[in-house]
C-alpha cells in the first residue's frame, strides 16, 4: 500500500470509528418502566425455582393451561448486553390464583405449577423460561387484573428493576388500571412480543440502568 492510499485508509478508518462512537452514544435506550410489586410475592419456601414452571420437582403432573416460552435479553441504557443478572419472577396460575397463603380467591390451586423462578441472564445477557399463560385474577366483584408476570431484575452496579410483563392484544389490557396509567411507549416496552401468529413463543427484553 503506497503512502497516499495508506493515509486515505487511516483517515477513513478514523472517520468510521468516530461515526461508530456517535451512533453508539445516540442509541441510548429507555429503561424498562417500573411497576408495583403486588401483594403476592412468594413467602412459602420452595426448592424448585428453575426455568421450567410447568413442572414441579418430585411430581409427575404438568401444569394446566396454555404453555408458553418466553425468551429475551438484558441490556443497559446504552444498549450493552448485561450478563449474570438475577431475574426473579412469579405469577398466577392459569386459573388466576397465586400459590400464596394470602390469595383467598375461589380459583383452584395448581399443585403442578411451579409459580416462581429465579434465573440468571447468560451469554449475551440471554434468558429463557417455560411457563403457562397466567390467568386474570379478581380485584373485586366486577374487576379483574389483566394477565401479567411479576419480575425483579438486579445486579450489583445497576439500579434494581421491579416491573410487570404483559401480553399483546389481551382484551383486559385496556381495562387494567395499572396498564392504562402507562404511556403508549411504556406499554409497548412492558408487553411481550409474540414471535409467531399460531405459536407459543414470546420475546421480552429488559433494559436496566447502570449506575
Q: pLDDT (tens digit, 9 = 90+) per residue, 178-203? A: 999 999 999 999 999 999 877 899 99
- Please enumerate in sequence order all residues whose Cβ is within 8 A of that of 15, keeping only pairs 6 or more positions apart, or say none: none
Residue 119: is its pLDDT beyond 70? yes
Q: What angle do CA 73, 78, 83 make, to 5 degrees?
A: 35
Scanning the structure block, which residue is given the C-alpha cell 420437582? 57
For 43, list phi and psi in degrees, rounded to 5: -125, -10
Give 163-177 pLDDT, tens digit per residue. Answer: 999 999 999 999 999
Amino acid at each position: 500500500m503506497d503512502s497516499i492510499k495508506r493515509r486515505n485508509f487511516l483517515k477513513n478508518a478514523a472517520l468510521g470509528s468516530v461515526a461508530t462512537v456517535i451512533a453508539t452514544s445516540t442509541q441510548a435506550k429507555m429503561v424498562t418502566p417500573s411497576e408495583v410489586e403486588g401483594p403476592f410475592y412468594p413467602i412459602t419456601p420452595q426448592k424448585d425455582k428453575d426455568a421450567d414452571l410447568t413442572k414441579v420437582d418430585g411430581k409427575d403432573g404438568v401444569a394446566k393451561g396454555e404453555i408458553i416460552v418466553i425468551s429475551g435479553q438484558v441490556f443497559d441504557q446504552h444498549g450493552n448486553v448485561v450478563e449474570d443478572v438475577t431475574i426473579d419472577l412469579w405469577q398466577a396460575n392459569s386459573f388466576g390464583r397465586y400459590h400464596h397463603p394470602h390469595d383467598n380467591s375461589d380459583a383452584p390451586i395448581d399443585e403442578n405449577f411451579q409459580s416462581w423462578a429465579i434465573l440468571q441472564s447468560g451469554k449475551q445477557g440471554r434468558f429463557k423460561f417455560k411457563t403457562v399463560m397466567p390467568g386474570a385474577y379478581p380485584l373485586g366483584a366486577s374487576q379483574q387484573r389483566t394477565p401479567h408476570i411479576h419480575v425483579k431484575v438486579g445486579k450489583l452496579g445497576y439500579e434494581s428493576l421491579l416491573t410487570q410483563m404483559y401480553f399483546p392484544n389481551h382484551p383486559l389490557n385496556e381495562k387494567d388500571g395499572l396498564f392504562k396509567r402507562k404511556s403508549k411507549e411504556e406499554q409497548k416496552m412492558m408487553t411481550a412480543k409474540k414471535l409467531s401468529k399460531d405459536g407459543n413463543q414470546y420475546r421480552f427484553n429488559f433494559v436496566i440502568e447502570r449506575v
